[in-house]
Structure 1
Amino acid sequence: MSKSDVLAGVNMAQPKVAILLCTYHGQHYLAEQLDSFVAQTHANWEVWASDDGSLDDTHTILKEYRQKWPTGRLSVHFGPAEGFSANFLSLTCRAGIEADYYAYSDQDDIWEPNKLARAVQWLETIPENIPALYCSRTRLVDANNNEIGLSPLFSKPPSFANALMQSIGGGNTMVFNNATRNLLREAGKNLPVITHDWWAYMAVTGCGGKVFYDSEPTLRYRQHDGNLVGMNATWPARFKRIRMFWQGRFRAWNDGNIAALRALSHRLTPENREILERFARAREISLIPRLIHLKRSGLYRQTVLGNLGLVAAAIFRKL
């Protein structure tokens, strides 16, 4: 593919999207992901790749695409080598990246051609000063790109009360505006959060921003043995989550989330600040007052099963 082929159809009047791509030992699927960027109907984009210390051919692939794409289309940087979440947060906060919108990208998915276009279409309806975050459903595929299902379809509205309990959109689907990026940069890159996408959902909803969950799948989410994070839709995955719950992982995650949110306390809306403090207090008091505090806080998950698990977590002090 020539440089002219990549540039064909580019409309520089379109909003510019910075694709924040994090890589780590991604040689098997990276080229397909990069090719899916070229296939986007929204053509005004550039890729900022942050590699976390790959020892395979990831760097070779990135170098090849950087050479065959026009100058400035792809830049490659070194990540902090502290895990995928820290890598994404470091890229989010990286000085020098300037665009109208920002899209998180994993290394092993395949974007549908209209992914960026759908996100930008919604984001353009939100005033620039309001944090806005787009996310979507995904089409699940196996290692060979054969479709195996869809991610869960969530019907309850996005909110801070939901964000404290779960993330409804994978980071690989997320696109956000400068108001959101400024908020995330203010919070900083050294945070005790478990995932960058869950953090983005909490920060935006907590600070009065807008979140849109698109029920239309916008990418092919590859499920394979090398996934650092995969879907929790299978029974083995669910049992793994239950085991982690009983081991206290969920409570430890909440410790980190609460600490990070308190650093943004001055940006939280009064209502959401009260929800956060009710949740924090409820985790430390006896059973009946705990359940009352949690009820009044309005916390919820997206499914009936998830809400039953929430009650169990509250009873057994696993929140």
Structure 2
Amino acid sequence: MTNTVTILMGVLNGAKWLQPQLDSISEQDHEDWVLRFSDDGSTDLSSQIIRGFSDRFPTRIHCGHGPRTGFGDNYMRLIRNLPEKAGYTAFADQDDVWSREKLGRAVAALSGFEETPTLYCGQRWLWYPKTDRRIKSSRPNRDFEFRNALIENVAAGNTVMLNPAATRLARQASRMITQPVFAHDWWLYQLITGAGGKVVYDSGPPCILYRQHSANAIGAGHGMSAQIKRKRGVLKGNFAMRIQQNLAVLGQIRSLLTEEARHDLRRFELARTAALQQRLLLLNEVRPYRQTPVGTLGFWGAASLGQI
């Protein structure tokens, strides 16, 4: 089986940060990689930087154009257009910096799961380049299951790698859906766990500098102010809208899910529109959870207020 890693990178006006990321990819100790870009309508110098990189590695680079409907759709198009016989698949942001061992560690971690769709992910350094401040992202404490994926994403997209079986599953599933996803990484976590696959979490030192800046599509949301902002967003219905978007997409790939996942999905869908007592009873059957007790408590608070 080939150890080629196909790296998918969505680009939008990333010229300010793109070159260091591309340099870190070119310096990987796992040298068997190809890179597929999807430029989502950049108006800066991103396309010139990409062309320059393509000139250095003409046989490894594929350049495409995005749908211009958001970063999630841009990555979903990349997944949908993966070659039929693609092997491992990794995801890259345009503004990060990778350590040399990033791809090699992920391939090694996935080596024992050839026939089972498996998703690899791990921790990141939250990186503030102006001061070179680095904060290690939190590590999940609980199992990686569909009941967790329904209400929380632990698979940070810029750390994700799919083994060949998961790549085939993601490509198939992406071609079944007609509605936009909120975020491709959350969707992948739901797909892999819902279809009976595995998640491998790298507990070693982070091998990615996750650049924090004002133009982050989502950002890390670190600190007290970010937590307050999230809670306000829940009360405004932001979390409920994301859940609704996720459920609509999961409904279109229901046939790929295990019987248990389909059962939990249906109960969760019914709970969202039920009266309070019935809502809590149905959710108790599913027992969704987040990775921290405080996070789980927060979800139940949102559920009690009808904000899921």
In the superposition, the TM-score normalised over structure 1's length comes to: 0.91
User: Are the counterparts in 2 of residues 139 and 147 from structure 1 also a CA contact under 8 Å?
Assistant: no
- For the pair 1:34 / 2:22, whether they are aligned, the reply is yes
User: Are the counterparts in 2 of residues 142 and 223 from structure 1 also a CA contact under 8 Å?
Assistant: yes
Shift in CA distance, 46/64, structure 1 to aligned 2, threshold 3 Å: same
How far, CA to CA, are the matches of 1:68 and 1:260 in structure 2? 39
Q: Pairwise CA RMSD of aligned residues? A: 1.6
State the Cα distance separating 1:95 from its structure 2 match. Answer: 4.8
How far, CA to CA, are the matches of 1:60 and 1:144 in structure 2? 25
Shift in CA distance, 145/131, structure 1 to aligned 2, threshold 3 Å: farther
**Could you say which residue in structure 1 is the equivalent of 2:170?**
184
- For the pair 1:143 / 2:129, whether they are aligned, the reply is yes
Residue type of the partner of 1:146? D
- For the pair 1:118 / 2:92, whether they are aligned, the reply is no
- For the pair 1:66 / 2:54, whether they are aligned, the reply is yes
After superposing the two structures, state which structure 1 stretch, 253-262 or 89-98, moved more.
Answer: 89-98
State the Cα distance separating 1:179 from its structure 2 match. Answer: 2.3
Q: 1:43 aligns with which of 10, 31, 46?
A: 31
Q: 2:13 aligns with which of 20, 25, 28?
A: 25
After superposing the two structures, state which structure 1 stretch, 194-203 or 134-143, moved more.
Answer: 134-143
**Could you say which residue in structure 2 is the equivalent of 1:273?**
262
How far, CA to CA, are the matches of 1:236 and 1:72 in structure 2? 46
Shift in CA distance, 205/240, structure 1 to aligned 2, threshold 3 Å: same
How far, CA to CA, are the matches of 1:61 and 1:313 in structure 2? 45
Report the identity percentage. 37
How far, CA to CA, are the matches of 1:202 and 1:241 in structure 2? 21
How far, CA to CA, are the matches of 1:173 and 1:145 in structure 2? 23
User: Are the counterparts in 1 of residues 114 and 163 from structure 2 also a CA contact under 8 Å?
Assistant: no
Between the two proteins, the alignment pairs up a number of residues equal to 305
**Could you say which residue in structure 2 is the equivalent of 1:220?**
209
In the superposition, the TM-score normalised over structure 2's length comes to: 0.94
How far, CA to CA, are the matches of 1:26 and 1:113 in structure 2? 22
- For the pair 1:241 / 2:230, whether they are aligned, the reply is yes
Residue type of the partner of 2:25? F
Shift in CA distance, 95/220, structure 1 to aligned 2, threshold 3 Å: closer
How far, CA to CA, are the matches of 2:297 and 2:154 in structure 1? 17
**Could you say which residue in structure 2 is the equivalent of 1:209?**
197
Match of 1:192, SS state, is: coil
| Structure 1 gap segments, 5+ residues each | 1-12
**Could you say which residue in structure 2 is the equivalent of 1:133?**
119
Q: Deviations over 1:81-103 (max 9, x none)?
A: 11110000000111547431000
User: Are the counterparts in 2 of residues 137 and 169 from structure 1 also a CA contact under 8 Å?
Assistant: no
Match of 1:22, SS state, is: strand
Residue type of the partner of 1:39? E
State the Cα distance separating 1:299 from its structure 2 match. Answer: 0.4
**Could you say which residue in structure 1 is the equivalent of 2:182?**
194
Residue type of the partner of 1:261? L
How far, CA to CA, are the matches of 1:44 and 1:161 in structure 2? 35
Shift in CA distance, 200/58, structure 1 to aligned 2, threshold 3 Å: same
Match of 1:283, SS state, is: helix
How far, CA to CA, are the matches of 2:99 and 2:266 in structure 1? 40
- For the pair 1:104 / 2:91, whether they are aligned, the reply is yes
| Structure 2 gap segments, 5+ residues each | none
Q: Deviations over 1:126-182 (max 9, x none)?
A: 033x21111111011113471330111111111000000111021111100232223
Shift in CA distance, 28/97, structure 1 to aligned 2, threshold 3 Å: farther
Q: 1:86 aligns with which of 62, 73, 76?
A: 73
